[in-house]
Amino acid sequence: MTTPSPLIAGMDSGGTHTTCALATLTGEVIAVGHAGPGNLCTHAATAASALRDALQDAMRQAGAERENVRALCVGSAGYFACAVPGGPDAVLEGLLRPDAPVEIVSDIEIAFTGAAVGEDAVVLIAGTGSVAYGGTRDGGRARAGGWGYLLSDEGSAFWIGLQGVRAALRAFDGRGPETELMGRLMRALGLHDPMELEGAVYGMESVNTGVAALASVVINAAREGDGVASSILEEGGRLLARAVLAVLTRLDRRNARIPVATVGGVLQDPDSPVRRALVRSLSEAAPGATVTWPALPPVGGALLRAMRRAGTEPGPDEIARLKAGLAQKATPQPGAA
């Protein structure tokens, strides 16, 4: 196998998994590699190894060496609350040859780059965590949410899972409406008694990703008619819409026609109650906002930034090749619930 050279690398390092894509300077996607969580805050001890493993997986598939890679961009969750000794740049050490340009930015940045591709747009991320971020061609920028699972992340997989656990406990106590969530959560966690739920949650090795994984329990319960679960998803969609509206207001685009590109597992399903509630809320408060899909997934945004770091300005042809290549190789969105 002959590996085209030079290559560029883009990474999306999230709270659930890390994705690395290799592409040529003309936008041909060569390989996509995967590894575990790489959040710089919640997985500080393993973030560097996740980046290395994802890059090595992609290079192995491509038959490439690090000398073939001219530039790298990493977009990481937890960037602004990084707990890695030495800061975010420390996780980049040794990934590429010393003279290769590398950068690490927030996963919000690569998601916006991939979603907007130079246009006025808002990107709404709802995976393990959640955040809304928007920008305009004249340089305006605004953000709402994304302050981590203890402080924010409304409408995210973590938030949905947490609300499901809380609703189950309220029903068990007699403080809330009846729901099937307790039984479903017990089965998902391998528990035999509702009294074990508290310890199971507090004892999770990684609370944010562990609770986020329980979002699927709530989603499945809602699909099968559980009213409490359905109300959780509806509220999640409304809270995500509120974040988007805050961004549109700060950008003075609330009355403008503008795309709202959705990223992350919570919003992947076109028929999900969360997405429907989001669309409904935005259509009432900001009729010009259109909920849509990003031009490129976040890892594609990282590739665009890496291409620029390598001295090439991507045009429509390069972007089209990246889109087709990433779709063909089925890169998963971050935070899939």
26-to-7, 146, 303, 315, 321 alpha-carbon distances in Å:
9, 33, 11, 9, 8
Contact 130, 263 (CB under 8 A): no
Task: Report, at the CATH architecture level, how domain 7-110+296-328 is classified.
Answer: 2-Layer Sandwich (3.30)
Neighbours of 42 (CB within 10 A): 23
Amino acid in position 160: I
CATH of domain 118-294: 3.30.420.40
CA-wise closest residue to 84 among 74, 92, 72: 92
How confident is the model at residue 14, as a pLDDT?
Answer: 87
CA angle 71, 306, 21 (to 5 degrees): 90
Strand order in the sheet with 130-135: 141-145, 130-135, 121-126, 258-263, 289-292
How do the domains of the chain map onto residue ranges?
A: 7-110+296-328, 118-294
Measured over the CA atoms of residue 127, residue 337, residue 242 and residue 207, the dihedral's sign is negative
Q: What is the pLDDT along the chain (337 residues), one digit of tens a residue?
A: 566 679 999 999 988 899 999 999 999 999 999 999 999 998 999 999 999 999 999 999 999 998 999 999 999 999 999 999 999 999 999 999 999 999 999 999 999 999 888 789 999 999 999 999 999 999 999 999 999 899 999 999 999 999 999 999 999 999 999 999 999 999 999 999 999 999 999 999 989 999 999 999 999 999 999 999 999 999 999 999 999 999 999 999 999 999 999 999 999 999 999 999 999 999 999 999 999 999 999 999 999 999 999 999 999 999 999 999 999 986 554 333 3
Paired tokens of 72: 């790298």
Contact 83, 39 (CB under 8 A): no
Its pTM stands at 0.86
Q: Say if 7-110+296-328 and 118-294 have the same CATH topology.
A: yes
3-state secondary structure of 103: strand
292-to-123, 270, 304 alpha-carbon distances in Å:
10, 10, 20
